[in-house]
Amino acid sequence: MSQAHGRGRFITLEGGEGTGKSTQAARLVAALAQRGVDAIATREPGGSPRAEEIRAVILSGSAERLAPVAEALLFAAARADHVEKTIRPALERGTWVVCDRFADSTRAYQGALGGLDDDTLGALERIAVGDARPDLTLVLDLPAAVGLARASRRRGTGEVDRFEQESLAFHERLRQAFLHIAHRDPQRCAVVDASLDPDAVTASLMCVVDARLVAPHKARERAS
């Protein structure tokens, strides 16, 4: 992603179930607005009209018998449309984008847990993401049991999507997968403790966003 003056910044939120990503995405957009930064919240799978249709297919369970590579292709198809229709146009007009899940979710779910190899994942990213890579990825970290308890409270007695039916051990492996991704790419990623109350989590996230993106952005604005 070009860091040229005028281009928006791309922030992704990643983590397991119940880590509060969607709540925090909305809060980050509001906090950025307070700093005079125009930003939108979006999500994956989905984030554009056609990608939302693919989301419905993926989460309905009709994709359940797909091999991991076929499932990853569906996520990648949704991502390609989301990037072209929502993310890239926003960044090009100077709007910042805060996305609830992105390519690291494919790396964690279909890669670390589904067994897809790095070459395949890399190829999918080159096609679906291209140069629209995140400037900053915030990994919301939470013990798996806490996240699952939160997710089931949020659902009440409602439906459990097929990804949430997996076992606690699965979710703990997922947590480790996201931590591993962050560890491998510390320039782009930061891990934030998501077990705190929502205000404290937002404050931690904004500390990272301010230090890594907002302050350099303002400095560039002043210099131009």
Residues 144-163 that bind ligand TYD (CB under 6 A): 161, 163
Which residue's structure tokens are 């999918």?
Answer: 124
Are the C-beta atoms of 214 and 35 separated by less than 8 Å?
A: yes
Nearer to ligand TYD, 10 or 109 (CB): 109
Q: How far is the CB of 212 from ligand TYD (least distance, A)?
A: 23
- Binding status of residue 141 toward ligand TYD by CB under 6 A: no
Stretch that binds ligand TYD, among 4-12, 83-91, 104-112, 215-223 (CB under 6 A): 104-112
CA 39 to chain CA mean position, Å: 15
- Binding status of residue 137 toward ligand TYD by CB under 6 A: no
**Per-residue burial over 105-130, b = 16 or more CB atoms within 10 Å of its CB, e = otherwise:** bbbbbbbbbeebeeeebeebbeebbe
Q: Is 19 labeled as ligand-binding?
A: yes
Strand ordering across the sheet containing 189-193: 39-43, 96-100, 10-15, 136-141, 189-193
Cα–Cα distance, 142 to 127 (Å, whole number): 31
- Binding status of residue 21 toward ligand TYD by CB under 6 A: yes
- Binding status of residue 105 toward ligand TYD by CB under 6 A: yes
- Contacts to ligand TYD by CB under 6 A: 17, 21, 44-45, 59, 75, 101, 105-106, 109-110, 161, 163
